Structure 1
Amino acid sequence: MSFVSAVVIDWIAIGFPPPIATQPIRTSRVFLRSIVRSRLRQKHRAVRRARQAARQPRARPSGRDAGGPGVARAGRICYRSENDAFRLGRIRVDSLALGGNGELPLFSLRTFAIVCGIALLAFVARAVFRRFLLGRLRAIASKTESDIDDAIVRAIDGPTGILILLFGIHIALSYLRLPTEPLNIKRFSQLTLLLLVTVDLTWLLMRLTDVFALFLQRVTQKTDSPLDDQLVPLIRKSIKVAVAVLGFVLIVQNLGYKVTGLLAGLGIGGLALALAAQSTLANVFGSITILLDRPFAVGHLVKAEGFFGFVEEVGLRSTRIRQLGRTRVTVPNSVLANLTIENWSQLDSRRADFTVGVTYETTADQMEKAVAAIRAILEAHPGVQAGTIHVRFADFGESSLDIKVIFITPIVDYGAFLGLREEVNLSIMRALEGLGIEIVFPTRTVYLKQETNRP
């Protein structure tokens, strides 16, 4: 092999230096020139040492040692030890002659065959994994009604295949005697492999995050509130940002940098952001509380301190309520989450409680008949729940005799409830009219006493 080709093979053996090399690198051209000059100087020194060793008289080895390391024969330059060859980036191969001097860079023929076999096995393992294992999982997932399992199989397909190849590369590199000087190629290869594994795992977590967001979307489609639909993209983006930050921190740590300062900076920045957006974050967490607790939904009639109306929209920052007077109220979610809310749309029944007043001219017998007639009306009505009827002569009012009427109806719709009250009130009026009893209205009688004997 010529001198120039040997230098080229040495250059290919050492490869390009990693970004973290200790020697300064100005430009690629200057760095290439310096490396070539260094290798030429090392080559000349090796040639001089070999020639000096050839001039010294020494016994010719016999058997398999003939032509071994440290022997100069027929003008060929052979190294005294494998340390010199390893320092120059080459190892002697006795059984194979390439280019006329029987040398291969970095590894022997057996090691080369093992490395190629491991690489081939890695590709075969990846193909088997994708075709048989993932194929079986796809067949099982296609038979189910949910599309979540199909999304999981698609998410792990690409990253796991690359992970298998990287694992094969790791095993193959362990069989190579990569040099550690003048450039630490072994460390560079290990670091590159570790960074690729970190990126691949980050990619896998990103795709699994999309699957989780798809699952949340399927769950939120079954609810009436649009709030959870708005929270799904926010949750997906937040998880992806967290995964990306974690992957970046791991990459920086693997490069040899201390991440303590970086984490401290992130913590201080997060604290400053939290203090600046304190009210916004409080409203967001309030919306999450409303989503999880579900005290009301869009369209419900709610009552709390300061408002009474129908819920129109539930957002990330506030909730909009249309009051009965048709005015619109916007309540921050942080305030709404701490209020006591009455949800009138979630009634299981309604309670009627009112008073019927009759005049003081009503006799006791007429009062008994009036109470019995009202009780009979309620018991005969299909909209009144049995066992909840209470009709009693309750009080002597300022201008009337008061009959207390209480009952419960399973009708929860407010309009239908008002229709029931109307039917009951009309029936009570007809019954009292038939008994000759007058329903009183607020009156006040003034008696004037006339004095006859005046001075």
Structure 2
Amino acid sequence: MEEFLRIWNQYLKSPTVFLSFLFIFYTLSKIFDSLFYPLILKITEKTKTNIDTKVALAFRKPVKNFIFFFGVFLGVRSLPLSPELYLVTLRFYRSLIILLIAAGFYNLASTSSVLFEKLTEKLDFEMDKILIPILSKALRFIIFAISATIIAQEWGYDVNGFVAGLGLGGLAFALAAQDTIANFFGGIVIILDKPFSIGDWILTPQVEGTVEDINFRSTKVRTFAHALVTVPNSSLVKGPITNWSKMGKRRITFNLGVTYTTPRHKLQLCVRRIESMLKNHPEIHPETIFVRFDSFNESSLDIFIYCFTKTTIWGEFLRVKEDVNFKIMDILEQEGVSVAFPSRSIYFENSLPK
């Protein structure tokens, strides 16, 4: 019996067992990922909330890696290692577990929009779209910092001493990072003041386009030429920001010049008909409409036209404006009024020689 135990112990300490553990647990991880995990996802999809599905997806790869690394750890224990080396492998294994757990929460933070939606439902307040990605990035940074701190303590590093050491170079760091700090507080101003949100069309002294992302350092804007412009938050908040997406209506204004040969009654009739057309137009906002004979220009009698479209979308605005212009042309043609063009009349005191 003693001889059998001695042979068995030698067998357990052989590399063959180590490789066997690797193969077995690698196969188990593949089976878990391809067979059992789809079953878990089917169960979570039948629940009333999708949070459990997001959690399952976030921890899918960490759980799969945990099964394999557990086999690696068991295989390492079967090798003839010294107590010191075994302690090192144990620390490696603990660190891997911390990393896998942190990776799961890190992945979950990338889907934080779902988590924040549930949070806003519970707390009954509205969270701006611009705040969600920043909170997500902050949450991921916190997860990374906590996991790095735990791993450092696992390996015997004095984290408190490291933090205290940071205070000695804090002044130098602050001086070197003035722009970064300014951009950070610029991002805070954007979040609190809410001059725009993700997806809004904005105009600033630096750029015009659609906001795609905002983080602690900069704001990314996609121009109409499809170029992606990254603007530092500190410079963005210093200048005026026009948010075209916040318009409730879009303005149409111009002067329509008709010839000086237009009779007075025809001019009055054109003014009344254009104003009536705008008031009855289904896509013109009825609140603010002005059509007035405005001025005697150098070569025309100017009719001032001022109104707003109900739509603020650029393409639809152009279509409505075109329709208004065609209807004005119809009115002028029906009344026999001609549009003036720049011209000058020259009079000579003496007759020109023939």
TM-score using structure 2 length: 0.57
Q: How far has the Cα of 1:439 moved from its partner?
A: 0.6
SS at match of 1:296: coil
1:389 aligns with 2:293: no
Q: Does 1:348 align with 2:252?
A: no
Please, which moves more after superposition, 442-451 or 419-428? 442-451
Cα shift readout 1:109-142 (whole Å, capped 9, x = no counterpart): xxxxxxxxxxxxxxxxxxxxxxxxxxxxxxxxxx
What amino acid sits opposite 1:303 in the alignment? Answer: L
**Structure 1 segment 23-422 matched on structure 2, within 5 A:** 217-218=113-114, 228-229=132-133, 231-238=135-142, 241=145, 265-324=165-224, 329-422=229-322
Q: Which residue of 2 aligns with 1:449?
A: 349
Q: Does the C-alpha gap of structure 1 residues 220 and 355 become closer, same or farther in structure 2, counting only changes over 3 Å?
A: farther
Q: Which structure 2 segments of 5+ residues have no match?
A: 1-46, 56-97, 119-126, 153-159
* TM-aligned CA deviation for residue 390 of structure 1: 1.2
User: Partners of 1:452 and 1:232 in 2: how far apart?
Assistant: 84
1:357–1:401 contact (8 Å) kept in structure 2: yes
Q: In structure 2, do the counterparts of structure 1 residues 266 and 239 end up closer, same or farther at CA, with 3 Å as the change threshold?
A: farther
Asked if the contact 1:227/1:315 (under 8 Å) is kept, the reply is no
One-letter amino acid matched to 2:346: V
Q: Distance in 1 between matches of 2:114 and 2:145?
A: 22
Rate the CA distance shift 1:421–1:446 in 2: closer, same or farther, 3 A.
same
1:412 is paired with a residue whose SS is coil
**Equivalent AA in structure 2 for residue 426 of structure 1:** F
What is the percentage of aligned positions where both structures have the same residue?
39
Q: Note if 1:438 corresponds to 2:342.
A: no
Distance 1:337 1:372, change over 3 A: same
Deviation at 1:384, TM superposition (A): 1.4
User: Deviations along 1:343-396, whole A, 9 cap, x unmatched?
Assistant: 111211112211111011111111111111111211221111223221110111
Q: Aligned in 2, Cα 1:228/1:279: closer, same or farther, shift over 3 Å? A: farther
**What is the one-letter code of the residue matched to 1:399?**
S
Q: Which amino acid aligns with 2:281?
A: H
Instruction: Please tell me the root mean square deviation across aligned C-alpha atoms, in Å.
Output: 4.2
Q: Would you say the 8 A contact 2:206–2:231 is kept in 1?
A: no
Q: Which has the higher contact order (CA 8 A, sep 6+)?
A: 2
Relative to structure 1, is the Cα distance of residues 364 and 226 closer, same or farther in structure 2, using a 3 angstrom cutoff? closer
Alpha-carbon distance in 1 for matches of 2:239, 2:280: 41
For 1:266 and 1:326, the matched residues in 2 are separated by: 43
Cα distance, 1:236–1:404 mapped onto 2, change above 3 Å:
same
Equivalent residue pairs, number:
248
Assess if the C-alpha contact under 8 Å between 2:130 and 2:191 holds in 1: no
Mapped contact 1:220–1:229 kept (Cα < 8 A): no
Distance of 2:190 and 2:308 partners within structure 1: 31
In 2, the alpha carbon distance for the partners of 1:401 and 1:235 equals 65
In structure 2, the partner of 1:428 is: 328
| Matching residue's letter, 2:270 | A
Mapped contact 1:318–1:331 kept (Cα < 8 A): yes
Q: After superposing the two structures, state which structure 1 stretch, 215-224 or 414-423, moved more.
A: 215-224
Q: Aligned to 1:398, what secondary structure does the other structure show? A: coil
Matched residues in 2 for 1:416 and 1:382: separation?
A: 13
What is aligned with 2:26? Answer: none
Q: Which of the two has higher C-alpha Rg?
A: 1
Does the 8 A contact of 2:209 with 2:221 survive in 1?
A: yes
Query: Which residue type is aligned with residue 352 of structure 1?
Result: I
Task: Report the secondary structure of 1:450's partner residue.
Answer: coil
Confirm or deny: 8 A CA contact 1:287 1:316 kept in the other structure: yes
Aligned twin of 2:42: none
CA contact (8 A) 1:303 1:341 kept: yes
Q: 1: distance between equivalents of 2:343 and 2:352? A: 29
1:357 aligns to what SS in structure 2? Answer: strand
- Tell me how far 1:217 sits from its aligned partner: 4.8
Q: TM-score, normalised by structure 1?
A: 0.45
